[in-house]
Amino acid sequence: MEQRCQCGEPIEFEYQKGEVRKPGSVWNRYREFYGFDISESYSLGEGDTSLTSLNKLSSELGIELFAKNETTNPTWSFKDRGTFLGVQQAAKNDFSKIGTVSTGNMAVSVAAYGARFDLDTHIMVSKDIDKVKLSQIGVYGPKIYRVDGDYGDLYFRSLEVGKSKEVYFINSDDPYRVEGYKTIGFEIAEEMVPDHILIPTSSGGLFRGIVKSFMELKKSGIIQRLPEFTAVQGEGCSPIYYAYKEERDEISHVKEKNTFAKAIANPYPPSGNEVLRKLKQLDGNCVSVCDGEIISSQKELASEGIFAQPAGCVGIAAAKKLKDNERIEEGEKVVSIITGSGLKVRSGEFKGSQITDLNIDELETI
């Protein structure tokens, strides 16, 4: 199960054509858009999240603004869609050990599905992870490694260790994970084809999955046009945005991470170059938003009844900026992906998890 091409870029499955089958779960309705079998035996009920009209913000901005509310997935983030497919394929290919590198949401998701599939689960987090996030992960009983080293490098190092230790690392842009994220786009298109989709972007896996879903729907003749896709990053850690702005073909490694939206603070996104290619191919857009804009948008989103993590609010901040810059025009339909919940479990004791502190050069000891 290779995850990256010999050229160094991420692997992506071929485009599929199909029809939407109704009714049924997301995995049944869109079954024809997958080139592999999907069993729902261990599903926790991923997907079918609401597309909610944001009435106050729509009125304020003079547009039709909607939130694709991914906070209602089983572990409160969009990650579950990709994790379910990734863990299932790992189990089908006789892996007894899985893992991931994550700042929070993906770690929780992989830990939950690792427990669900009864697999030996290894979670690598940054050294400075806060106790609240640690408790969310630890409740599922995985082995947790707090790693001291560059987070951007850790992704690539984990894949090397995974091969030598036979651990399938279901990281941020694993090809099965990207396939799982297609269901977000499929669900949106069942209700509308918006003029714009605003996508919080870290590794680039979510962006790739949503774009791929709409491309497949268009190739299948189900929709006639594509939305404009906008990748949104936090100003304090935005390697894709800077490359886009400077019209470069490749991202550069960002040394400092300084954004309130920590869930998308990836200094070297593994799918960054592919996101740039897709933006260029589809005449997409990329913006960055500052912490003040993110905090303000979190409060405004809460006033609409949705409590989102800071990274989930960057699309709302981007909508306001793009409307001011006239990239979004009066009356247009705009969907912002709300990636994860602002709710946090109580920080406290948990049992069953082994926590190990490592330097990045000690990963082979796992």
In order of their start, the domains of the chain are 51-77+175-338 (3.40.50.1100), 79-174+352-365 (3.40.50.1100)
Average pLDDT over residues 126-155: 89
Nearest to 195, CA basis, from 171, 214, 167, 213: 214
Count of H helices and E strands in the chain? 12, 11
Q: How confident is the model at residue 118 (pLDDT cuts 50, 70, 90)?
A: very high
Structure tokens at 212: 């791929």
**Token code pair at residue 174:** 């694993």
Q: Which residue has the higher pLDDT, 152 or 260?
A: 260
Q: Determine what percent of the chain is predicted with pLDDT higher than 90.
A: 85
Mean pLDDT of the 158-174 span: 95
- Of 76 and 6, the structure prediction assigns the larger pLDDT to 76
Where helices occur in 76-229 by DSSP H, the ranges are 79-92, 105-116, 131-138, 151-165, 175-191, 205-219
Lowest mean pLDDT among 182-186, 198-202, 266-270, 302-306: 266-270
Q: What is the pLDDT of residue 1?
A: 75
* Sign of the dihedral defined by the CA atoms of residues 36, 42, 44, 45, in that order: positive
Going by pLDDT thresholds of 50, 70 and 90, the confidence category of residue 267 is very high
Residue 90 has pLDDT above 90, yes or no: yes
Q: What is the mean pLDDT of residues 3-32?
A: 92
Q: Residues 321, 327, 329, 333: is their CA dihedral positive or negative?
A: negative
Predicted local confidence at residue 346, as pLDDT: 43
- Is the pLDDT at 163 greater than 70? The verdict is yes
Give the model's confidence band at 14: pLDDT under 50 very low, under 70 low, under 90 confident, else very high. Answer: very high
Confidence of residue 222 (pLDDT cuts 50, 70, 90): very high
Mean pLDDT, rounded, for 100-118: 95
307-355 pLDDT, tens per residue?
999 999 999 999 999 999 999 999 999 999 999 999 854 434 445 578 8
Statement: residue 220 has pLDDT above 70: yes
**pLDDT value for 192:** 98
Q: How confident is the model at residue 199 (pLDDT cuts 50, 70, 90)?
A: very high
Alpha-carbon separation of residue 31 from 26, 36, 46, 62, 67 (angstroms):
8, 9, 14, 37, 25
Kindly state the greatest CA–CA separation across the chain. Answer: 57
Sign of CA dihedral 160, 258, 136, 342: negative
Are 64 and 180 contacting, i.e. CB atoms less than 8 angstroms apart?
no
